[in-house]
Amino acid sequence: MEYLLNNKSREEIINGTILIVDKPYSWSSFDVVKKIRNTIMLNYKIKKIKVGHAGTLDPLATGLLIICYGKMTKSIDNFSAMKKVYDGKMIIGSTTPSFDLETKPNINYPVNHIDEKLLLKTSKKFIGEILQKPPMYSAIKKNGVRLYKLAREGKKIKREKRKVIIEKFEITSIKFPEVSFSVTCSKGTYIRSLVDDYGKELLSGAHLTWLRRTNIGDFSVNNSVKVMEFIRKI
């Protein structure tokens, strides 16, 4: 399947295909969808076309985002259900309200008891089916309002834990307090929550500092296109 729109006819665009995008840092997934939709409508003189993405990435994350448009938007749920692979970095010994760098560290924890053996042993505890509570800073809706909007107002809402599957949680590099890792997981997994839970299991704290999605099913970020590159080439 072609991941660029080069040489595609107007009819082919409307019938639908996908675009494999490398989402830039600080862009929301909706920002990417909006930019691509507007570009397609302008260049192909289409007044209206459905465009959506399969699997949200936080603004502070980069990497693979599958964009579906035209009739291919009917397959979004199929793409979203595929397993995901992430590379990330975390800081051990402190937490933030958002579990990442959207907010500043607000609590420090002891770390003198933590060594490489404990870091490796603890990551293995998360392999398999686990219960995970979504972060307050998330796009989940409560009574029609996104949780992150409530969180920014200082409000806390009860969130039910969800079942997710962690196929792999590998510590790849330790430059304490920074720890790098790779995760293979199911749909619906919040890597920020995984990092926060990992910190608690260490009897300390942790927050996410960098995240990049590299794979969704058989799709790889190595075969993706930058958003601005797509706009120049279309």
Q: Are residues 170 and 188 in the same domain?
A: yes
> Is 4 contained in some domain?
no
Name the β-bridge partners of 91: 178, 207
pLDDT higher than 60, residue 107: yes
Q: Are residues 112 and 157 in the same domain?
A: yes
pLDDT higher than 70, residue 36: yes
Of the given ranges (6-15, 26-35, 108-117, 193-202), which has the lowest mean pLDDT? 6-15
Q: What is the CATH classification number for the domain harbouring 162?
A: 3.30.2350.10
pLDDT in tens, 123-153: 999 999 999 998 888 777 777 778 778 778 7
The per-residue pLDDT for 118 is 98
pLDDT higher than 60, residue 183: yes
Amino acid present at 169 = F
Q: Are residues 113 and 210 in the same domain?
A: yes
Amino acid present at 217 = G
Q: Are residues 194 and 105 in the same domain?
A: yes
CA distance linking residue 218 with residue 64, whole number of Å? 11
CA dihedral 38, 44, 48, 51 (to 10 degrees): -60
pLDDT higher than 70, residue 49: yes
> Is 1 contained in some domain?
no
Q: Are residues 76 and 126 in the same domain?
A: no
The pair of structure tokens assigned to 160 is 């039910």
Q: Are residues 205 and 222 in the same domain?
A: no
Q: What is the 3-state secondary structure (H, E, C) of the chain?
A: CCCCCCCCCHHHHHHCEEEEEEECCCCCHHHHHHHHHHHHHHHCCCCCCCEEEECCCCCCCEEEEEEEEHHHHHHHHHHHCCCEEEEEEEEECEECCCCCCCCCCCEECCCCCCCHHHHHHHHHCCCEEEEECCCCCCCCEECCEEHHHHHHCCCCCCCCCEEEEEEEEEEEEEECCEEEEEEEECCCCCHHHHHHHHHHHCCCCEEEEEEEEEEECCEEHHHCEEHHHHHHHC
| Distance in angstroms between the alpha carbons of the first and the last residue of the chain | 17
The total number of structural domains that make up the chain: 2
The per-residue pLDDT for 135 is 87
pTM of the model: 0.91
Owning domain of residue 16: 10-81+218-233
Q: Are residues 113 and 161 in the same domain?
A: yes
The per-residue pLDDT for 15 is 77
The per-residue pLDDT for 141 is 77
Query: Is the Cα torsion angle 193, 198, 202, 208 positive or negative in sign?
Result: negative
Q: Are residues 17 and 123 in the same domain?
A: no
Q: Are residues 100 and 21 in the same domain?
A: no
pLDDT higher than 70, residue 219: yes
Mean pLDDT calculated for residue range 93-116 = 96
Tokens 């003189």 correspond to 45
Tokens 């998330």 correspond to 138
Active site residue 58: yes
Q: Single out the catalytic residue among 58, 87, 100, 196.
A: 58
Work out the pLDDT band at 7, boundaries 50, 70, 90: low
